[in-house]
Every structure is written in C-alpha cells, then in structure tokens.
C-alpha cells in the first residue's frame, strides 16, 4: 500500500504521467532497479486505465489532506 500511495500522490498531486512518474520514482526508490520501477509504473497505469470507468463523480466532501486514499465508500449521499 505504501507504493500505491506514492503512485497516487504523484499522479494526482504532482500531475505526473508515466514518464515523469518513472523518472521521479527511480530517484526515490534507489533500492529497486530502473527495470523493476518501469514495470511497476506500467502495471499501475494499465490497471488505472482499465478501471477508470468505475470511478464515480461525487459531490464535494471534507478531506483533511489534498490526497486521500479514501474512495468515499461509506458516503451515502446520492451522486450525480
């Protein structure tokens, strides 16, 4: 889950695409080879694009951080 947190923050907050995310993660994850980092980034963006249609636009709600892994699963308000 820690790796997914890195992916989510880079994609959402830093607005990184696959190439920029790879470049930043190679500098952050020095314990992994660039090939392994590339595979992880490719896998993340593949599954993100496959499951993108399942996301729902919800009404604004309060979040303490600018990035939250919470998927509003327990927010019972109607969505548009």
Q: What is the pLDDT of residue 55?
A: 66
Q: How far apart are CA 65 and CA 75, in angstroms?
A: 17
Question: What's the pLDDT tens digit per position in 3-23?
Answer: 888 888 888 888 889 999 999
Q: How far is CA 21 from CA 43, 53, 73, in A?
A: 13, 22, 27
Q: How far apart are CA 80 and CA 60, in angstroms?
A: 11
Q: What is the mean pLDDT of residues 20-49?
A: 92
Q: How far apart are CA 59 and CA 80, in angstroms?
A: 8
Residue 72 structure tokens? 């509003």
Question: What's the pLDDT tens digit per position in 40-75?
Answer: 999 999 988 887 766 665 555 555 555 665 566 666
Four-CA torsion 3, 21, 72, 80, nearest 10 degrees: -160
């Amino acid at each position: 889950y820690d790796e997914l947190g890195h992916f989510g923050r880079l994609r959402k907050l830093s607005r990184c695409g696959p190439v920029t995310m790879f470049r930043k993660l190679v500098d952050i994850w020095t314990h992994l080879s660039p090939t392994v980092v590339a595979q992880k980034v490719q896998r993340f963006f593949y599954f993100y694009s496959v499951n993108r249609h399942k996301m729902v636009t919800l009404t604004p709600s309060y979040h303490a951080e600018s990035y939250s892994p919470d998927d509003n699963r327990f927010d019972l308000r109607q969505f548009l």
